[in-house]
Structure 1
């Protein structure tokens, strides 16, 4: 009888242990799934934040003009050029628009000192664009904010 009572207690103890193990496994499974769902929603949120549209580029068009280039072996040469500037903010756009006569003057002075054979090559155009950026970034007034000019784009370029 003592043995039967011991077996009965052992069976109850085993049943309780099994219930505890099932409960612990269930709780662990719940937390695991909840953690996975949180990570998935965090990834979706991060992806949504990363997919912000890029800001619209701001372009400032400079009307085309013609300038005399330095004489070369072919005699006097002309450059007909149209430019557009890609700027970083609307403040730069406003400053450039209000100082357009000064900008055109700076460009005419720079371009009139160029040789036709220098500006007709791809490398020459890239160097010219860098020189234009350098000239235009220089302040036009004492209280002028820093200009954010990102790129010089040639829209028209004819050498005769």
Structure 2
């Protein structure tokens, strides 16, 4: 009888140990899964929180030059200006650099017809920048890729 009781007690202990072992394994597995999903969520949140770096701007420098403007009551007027063109892609930059003599010639022709009194004001400079963008939208050669010029930036500007 004692042997039967001992076997039942031994069997009960083994069952209890197996059940405890299963509970521990299940708890560890659940905790591991929770940690992994928590870390992935944190990584995703960190990735979303980092602002995207803006694209590096591409600039095409136009060497400074002096232009005679329309004369006013005081006599001849000069414009000394330097500018940089902000472009959207390297193809546009390469094309403009290859055709810079034509670009400068068109700029000289456009600038020589300007009125000095209008160019002195900020609005006059903005109007001139808009006119330059419009002038650069006309084809320089045939065939020509579509040019992506975003902005005209005046780096030097003296009316005298």
CA 1:120/1:52 → structure 2, altered by over 3 Å: closer, same or farther? closer
- Residue 58 (1) aligns with residue 58 (2): yes
CA distance in 2 between partners of 1:43 and 1:49 (Å): 9
**Could you tell which deviates more after superposition, 25-34 or 107-116?**
25-34
CA distance in 2 between partners of 1:119 and 1:91 (Å): 31
Q: How does 1:5-154 map to 2 (within 5 A)?
A: 29-44=31-46, 46-47=47-48, 50-52=51-53, 54-55=55-56, 57-154=57-154
In the TM superposition, residue 115 of structure 1 has moved relative to its aligned partner by 0.6
**Deviations 1:127-157, CA, capped at 9 Å, x for gaps:** 1111111111221112100111122111211
After superposition, the CA RMSD in angstroms is: 3.3
The residue matched to 1:126 in structure 2 has which SS? helix
The residue matched to 1:157 in structure 2 has which SS? strand
**How many residues of Structure 1 are paired with residues of Structure 2 in the alignment?**
149
TM-score, normalisation: structure 2:
0.73
- Structure 1: give runs of 5+ residues left out of the alignment: 1-14
CA distance in 1 between partners of 2:23 and 2:89 (Å): 64
CA distance in 1 between partners of 2:139 and 2:101 (Å): 14
In the TM superposition, residue 41 of structure 1 has moved relative to its aligned partner by 2.3
CA 1:147/1:104 → structure 2, altered by over 3 Å: closer, same or farther? same
CA 1:118/1:31 → structure 2, altered by over 3 Å: closer, same or farther? same
TM-score, normalisation: structure 1:
0.73
The residue matched to 2:156 in structure 1 has which SS? strand
In the TM superposition, residue 52 of structure 1 has moved relative to its aligned partner by 4.6
- Structure 2: give runs of 5+ residues left out of the alignment: 1-15
**Deviations 1:14-44, CA, capped at 9 Å, x for gaps:** x9xxx79998777655544432222112223
